[in-house]
Structure 1
Amino acid sequence: KCVFCEEEEESMSHVFFNCSRIYPIWLTCYRWVRVYMVLHQDPKQNFIQHGKLRLQGLDVGAWMTIWCSILWNVWRARNNIIFNGSSFDYDSVMQNVIFFCWWWLYKVNKGTKFNLSQWVSNIQTCIRIQ
């Protein structure tokens, strides 16, 4: 069973894109850039769908970093539940998604001019004007 919702069988499609506890993370991140759409359930097709969104004024590197950060942090949350007995915390996962987006862009790729405080307080603007 899925460790997040405890209702469905665990699969990549379910855990990353369809779980009732994870889907709101995608919706929140898509709202940052005013995208409202149905997510493709197949991981490969979801990646392609996400990458094809060429929104005016949106930094493509930041946009793809969001996708990677969501998946990585969902996987980390899953593993914490399984291996450390943690429970699912939406706010914690969202904070990690936001932090690691910034970290990867700012520290690793030198791809953002915003500090963490600016990023957290106004991520919508920061993503658009990288």
Structure 2
Amino acid sequence: MAIDEHVLGADEAAFFKEIWCKYVPLKVAVVREHPEPTPHLFFSYRVIYNIWLSCNNWIGNQGALPLEGMAHFHQHVLMCKSKKVNGMWKTIWFAKIWIVWLSRNAFIFNAKAIDVEEICRLIKWKAWLWLRARVTTFKASYYEWEIDPRYCLSMGVAADR
């Protein structure tokens, strides 16, 4: 995926080169005459924005979301001082981005409807799986995770102490 500075602006393009290209594997390259801007793909498209709001309600984050990737990412990872907790928040953010990307591809290439509830369920599941795999102290059951993700994150840190 070419990251176009003319579409995003220099700061936003640099952010996506650092974050997206480094951590998210490229599975599908779509060449278009008029590519969709990245913020629209992941943050501002009405249905996608509703997915973010729904997931944030589940996590307990209220309020408006930024429409630019860098600000959006920082809003999710600068929530506390602990490096470990920030790492867990990054994992959740990447799970959201990954599932949104897969859902958009399913919509574009397979005409699969975008169902906000189903996508949020997949995000919860993927974030839980990734946290269980990456954070040795994260022991929450999926049931606990669905009910109270903030508590599960805090317990993952408290288990270190």
Q: Indicate the TM-score class for this superposition, using the shorter chain for normalisation.
A: 0.7 to 0.9
Distance in structure 2 (CA, Å) of the matches to 1:88 and 1:96: 12
Q: Which is further off, 62-71 or 9-18?
A: 9-18
The structure with the larger Rg is 2
The match for 1:64 among 90, 95, 107 is 90
3-state DSSP class of the match of 1:21?
Answer: helix
| Amino acid in structure 1 at the alignment position of 2:63 | M
Match of 1:42 in 2: 68
The match for 1:74 among 89, 97, 100 is 100
For structure 1, the residue ranges without an aligned partner over 5 or more in a row are 1-8
Identity of aligned residues (%): 29
Distance in structure 2 (CA, Å) of the matches to 1:109 and 1:47: 20
TM-score when normalising by structure 2: 0.63
What is the Cα deviation at residue 111 of structure 1?
4.5
Q: Which is further off, 22-31 or 79-88?
A: 22-31
| Amino acid in structure 1 at the alignment position of 2:124 | I
- Measured on the aligned residues, the alpha-carbon RMSD in Å equals 2.5
What is the Cα deviation at residue 68 of structure 1?
0.6
Equivalent residue pairs, number: 121
For structure 2, the residue ranges without an aligned partner over 5 or more in a row are 1-34, 157-161
